[in-house]
Homo-oligomer: A and B are copies of this chain.
């Protein structure tokens, strides 16, 4: 095993970071968030970066989950609006064999999975199929407000199917919701006899793939947000004085910073390790993804509160940027399943009640030296 970015990956991350530093700043963010319209950013991002992390034959520009995780990390690090990108990236596996549609989707015509973002995608509640089109409501759909098409899990005659539905139909009603975190959007979506087209894929396996991707990419998002909060808190501690000294010289403040740093570097280690595991379909990839999501996003909310304490009252205001990342990290904890839900997933896979059974060798070798 080698934990190391390739030269291409390093170059990609650097170029993306450069581009983002020009495209996003606090003022722009607040403009997009106040107006509730981040389409300007979403469009220019799609124009310049669409399809990185998606193989060329599938309609992307090449690369895999490591590249997608780098994208998620760096988007979060500047708090860039990313609902459309994330929703589309997750939906892509459902469009296998349709490279033109993928290209269109990543190019600025977002596609979203019609599943509640409060749960693991593989546990999505399917709509009932029928002759009169699709009918039903799904609350809290990621990018439900901006998606032009939905990938919809449907219970068909032979079991679970995936359909694609145009969001522009009259029979599709979308009610945007108001999140504390403005960098992502959710909407409640109701279909009332919507026309749909069935996708020729193994629905169960696609939803499992989407779940693993969601786990890794939300964890990567927390990595970026946590790094940003660490940077803000450490910078602040070096310029804010109290009792005649910089607050960064107090041991309690140092230890708080160190605890965030431990979380950040553990997250960095695990996000990319897990991305590689999922991409190369390791035997334990599903557990790796679940563990990364549960651990990193839970620790991310602890880091957010620690960063807030390090800032004192100023971090608690609307006008300070800390709140942007604070809310971003908090949303990630529950987005696509709480740590508890993912841990239950792990517990199931570990077959904890399998008394007298031969132990499945679910676990890799140890690295202690």
**Which residues of A approach B to under 8 Å, CB–CB?**
250-252, 255
Residues in B with CB closer than 8 Å to A250 are 251
A-B contact pairs, 5 of them (CB 8 A): A250-B251, A251-B251, A251-B252, A252-B252, A252-B255
Q: Distance (Å) between the CB of A82 and the closest chain B CB? A: 38
Q: Distance (Å) between the CB of A137 and the closest chain B CB? A: 24
Residues in B with CB closer than 8 Å to A255 are 252
Nearest residue in B to A251 (C-beta to C-beta)?
Answer: B251
Q: Distance (Å) between the CB of A250 and the closest chain B CB? A: 6
Residues in B with CB closer than 8 Å to A252 are 251-252, 255
Nearest residue in B to A249 (C-beta to C-beta)?
Answer: B251
Bound-complex Cα distance A316 to B250 (A):
28
Bound-complex Cα distance A251 to B250 (A):
7
Nearest residue in B to A250 (C-beta to C-beta)?
Answer: B251
| Across the A-B interface, the 5 shortest Cβ-Cβ residue pairs | A251-B251, A251-B252, A252-B255, A250-B251, A252-B252
Q: Distance (Å) between the CB of A108 and the closest chain B CB? A: 48
Residues in B with CB closer than 8 Å to A251 are 250-252
Nearest residue in B to A253 (C-beta to C-beta)?
Answer: B251
Bound-complex Cα distance A252 to B252 (A):
6
Bound-complex Cα distance A201 to B194 (A):
72
Bound-complex Cα distance A251 to B251 (A):
6
Bound-complex Cα distance A153 to B271 (A):
56
Bound-complex Cα distance A251 to B256 (A):
12
Bound-complex Cα distance A251 to B243 (A):
15
Q: Distance (Å) between the CB of A216 and the closest chain B CB? A: 33
Bound-complex Cα distance A252 to B250 (A):
9
Bound-complex Cα distance A251 to B248 (A):
13
Bound-complex Cα distance A250 to B252 (A):
9
Bound-complex Cα distance A322 to B255 (A):
26
Q: Distance (Å) between the CB of A258 and the closest chain B CB? A: 10
Nearest residue in B to A255 (C-beta to C-beta)?
Answer: B252
Q: Distance (Å) between the CB of A331 and the closest chain B CB? A: 28
Q: Distance (Å) between the CB of A84 and the closest chain B CB? A: 40
Bound-complex Cα distance A255 to B255 (A):
11
Q: Distance (Å) between the CB of A267 and the closest chain B CB? A: 24
Q: Distance (Å) between the CB of A306 and the closest chain B CB? A: 14
Bound-complex Cα distance A250 to B255 (A):
12
Bound-complex Cα distance A227 to B69 (A):
50
